[in-house]
Amino acid sequence: MPPLWARSFQFIQKVMKSQSFKRAVFPGSFDPMTLGHLNILKRSIPLFDEIIVAVGVNDAKAPMFPLEKRLAWLRDVCSPFPSVRVKSFEGLTSSFCLENEASWLLRGVRNGGDFEYERTIAQMTQVLEPNLETVILFTDPEYAHIHSNVVREVVRNGGDASAFLPSEINFS
Ligand code: ADP
């Protein structure tokens, strides 16, 4: 075992690193990822040292696209961004953040409906996990109309949803 002074030094280094390293989690169903999600992600990259885009697996919500497909698309879209990682998780988002030593929870807002919903979730999260801070960005206006449920509807009915999606996401 290293001497006490070395262990103390390592401990101090670890604490300093964890305090200065800014890791955020961007959770969602990404079913599929849209240009709206991408807009929030790209604008957040300068704010954090690392962002984990985290696909929540929710048994109550039957996704249109399988988890592996959604992760593969996300990994393709995020590959140009070295500080972005892609993962999936089950259970509480706040637990996933703690397990991954992330102190920030990233969300996007399109309109008043999203705002009310995100405010409720953010305030409840603050009660449950006071050390987890929710950061909410308003989408750039040109992406405010994009909802993944409408994208799913277009795809389901054989329409062309490419105007709403990153170029890496196609259904051929
Ligand atoms: P959706 O609400 O489209 O089903 P998710 O559950 O994957 O999407 O949402 C993940 C996060 O991305 C949420 O905070 C959601 O409000 C945000 N988001 C989704 N679409 C957009 C968009 N067009 N512009 C900005 N934020 C968005």
pLDDT, tens digit, 9 for 90 and up, residues 93-139: 999 999 999 999 999 999 999 999 999 999 999 999 999 999 999 99
Measure the CA–CA gap between 95 and 122, rounded to whole angstroms.
14
Measure the CA–CA gap between 134 and 63, rounded to whole angstroms.
25
Partners of 50 in beta bridges = 23
Ordered alpha helix ranges (H), 21-92: 35-44, 67-78
Nearest CA to ligand 1 atom 23: 36
Give residue 128 CA to ligand 1 midpoint distance, Å: 22
Which pLDDT value is given to residue 14? Answer: 63
Q: Is 44 touching ligand 1 by the criterion CB < 6 Å?
A: no
Task: Report which DSSP code applies to 140.
Answer: P
Which pLDDT value is given to residue 64? Answer: 96
pLDDT, tens digit, 9 for 90 and up, residues 130-163: 999 999 999 999 999 999 999 999 999 999 999 9
Give residue 7 CA to ligand 1 midpoint distance, Å: 44
Report residue 156 as tokens.
């389901």
Give residue 18 CA to ligand 1 midpoint distance, Å: 28
Which pLDDT value is given to residue 61? Answer: 79
Which pLDDT value is given to residue 141? Answer: 96
Q: Is 139 touching ligand 1 by the criterion CB < 6 Å?
A: yes
Measure the CA–CA gap between 24 and 47, rounded to whole angstroms.
9
What does the mean pLDDT of the chain come to?
93
Q: Is 36 touching ligand 1 by the criterion CB < 6 Å?
A: yes
pLDDT, tens digit, 9 for 90 and up, residues 28-39: 999 999 999 999
Coil, helix or strand for 51?
A: strand
Measure the CA–CA gap between 94 and 102, rounded to whole angstroms.
9
Query: Pick the catalytic residue: 37, 44, 70, 107?
Result: 37
How would you list the strands of the sheet with 133-138, edge to edge?
84-90, 50-57, 23-28, 104-109, 133-138
- Asked if 37 is an active-site residue, the reply is yes
Residue 17 has pLDDT above 60, yes or no: no
Confidence of residue 3 (pLDDT cuts 50, 70, 90): confident
Q: Is 166 touching ligand 1 by the criterion CB < 6 Å?
A: no
Report residue 28 as tokens.
């969602």
Query: Pick the catalytic residue: 20, 61, 167, 172?
Result: 61
Q: Is 143 touching ligand 1 by the criterion CB < 6 Å?
A: yes
Residue 98: in which H helix or E strand, if any? helix 93-99
Instruction: Give the amino acid at 61.
Output: K
Q: Is 41 touching ligand 1 by the criterion CB < 6 Å?
A: no
Closest CA to 164 of 67, 150, 26: 150
